[in-house]
Structure 1
């Protein structure tokens, strides 16, 4: 065998062995962070609990994370919508109001693009919660949903009592929200009244927050779409 033939054989054979090795022994491990650790109210420390590490089949201490609290609101058709509808689903939440003339249409357009990506996936749901519930009755939500051609089987627009919605958004989804009219009655412009987050929130099947994304930024929403796929891959390998 001459030198050139040997080099050629090595060039051809080595990649084959690398491929076979990866196929036989390689395992892809995806990771996606969890957000908002649970705090022990008596000690002020982060809660820890034992969990089984499936990789090593051993128990280990792990951080306990907060979950989205149970809620019951009203959808765009006027029907009761419970958080139970989202059990066992990956879902994405965003916050808006129909009178918004600034960032809300941008956010809703980006959410619409994300829903199109998963239009055949029954495990993925989207919810849009109004921060102006006194105005955004179901009929207003329905008209807004039609404006963006929302598929009601996968994307739900929600309203309800302000006393339920505001704590849910602030303490459950952990994004900022304020009604400026509560501090200054002279404010009349809706876009100056409701100060809310542009964030989209990714929630896993256990109700734990797995990501925050700027809903006005296409690249950020692209990252959301990618991380939804990563989360699905994690569940598929568990």
Structure 2
């Protein structure tokens, strides 16, 4: 009887760890999550749009929510060359809207972006895009000077200008960021900081053009959260590949 009990204990000691290992191997991987922003809705019913999940995992639903994708656009960079959103396909990037004459929130935002850039300096999949809301003044040579002030790395951090009729709708409908030129409503407004109204938000965009987060670019702690969530997004792509 004792031999049988000992044999049972020995078998259990050998088999149970093996079963635990197999369970952990099959189901215990680290799964990283980061939400998508801006779910799309049906204009007639108001219901959230859904699509069939092509490859549902064992713990995921068959239907997925359809999320906003930033539309394609083309502007001009700090070198005076055409710069298209197609250049950013397959890259994680952080976007913001600013102007070089801004003396309030823009210097804080750009300083924080320098810190984020330096954090991911070795990662070629990470880019940064700063789009001017004062394009008539912010010509390429002005953007070049501004880029140098914040140690922007050419080819990694892009400063863009163009037609206001393109930039403003892109900000509002593409990146869900408010922007306005107050001088259009009040001709007495002259000071640049009072003229150009825009958000302090930094926008995290994934490789497919989905918005994955909004962050206060003037707040160090919120930018720390951006850095953390960028690392999470990078890990998600690494795990999926």
Picking from 92, 95, 112, the partner of 2:94 is 92
**1:67 alignment counterpart:** 69
CA-to-aligned-CA distance 1:9-67 (integer Å, 9 cap, x gap): xxxxxxxx7xx859645211111110111223344322110013453298711110010
Contact 1:52 1:58 in 2 (8 A): no
Contact 1:53 1:59 in 2 (8 A): no
Contact 2:215 2:223 in 1 (8 A): yes
The whole-number CA distance in structure 1 between the counterparts of 2:181 and 2:96 is 17
TM-score, scaled relative to structure 2: 0.87
| Residue 170 of structure 2 is aligned to residue 165 of structure 1 | no
Task: Note the 1:145-184 alignment, pairs <5 A.
Answer: 145-184=147-186
Contact 1:199 1:215 in 2 (8 A): yes
| Residue 202 of structure 2 is aligned to residue 214 of structure 1 | no
Task: Note the 1:117-136 alignment, pairs <5 A.
Answer: 117-136=119-138
**1:143 alignment counterpart:** 145
Contact 2:56 2:62 in 1 (8 A): no
CA-to-aligned-CA distance 1:159-187 (integer Å, 9 cap, x gap): 00000000000010001111110110000
Aligned Cα root-mean-square deviation (Å): 1.7
Contact 1:73 1:159 in 2 (8 A): yes
The whole-number CA distance in structure 2 between the counterparts of 1:184 and 1:76 is 30
- Other structure's SS at 1:125 match: strand
**1:7 alignment counterpart:** none
The whole-number CA distance in structure 2 between the counterparts of 1:170 and 1:31 is 27
Unaligned runs of 5+ in 1: 1-16
Structure with greater Cα Rg: 2
Unaligned runs of 5+ in 2: 1-16
Contact 1:92 1:203 in 2 (8 A): yes
**1:10 alignment counterpart:** none
Work out the number of aligned pairs and report it: 220
- Other structure's SS at 1:237 match: helix
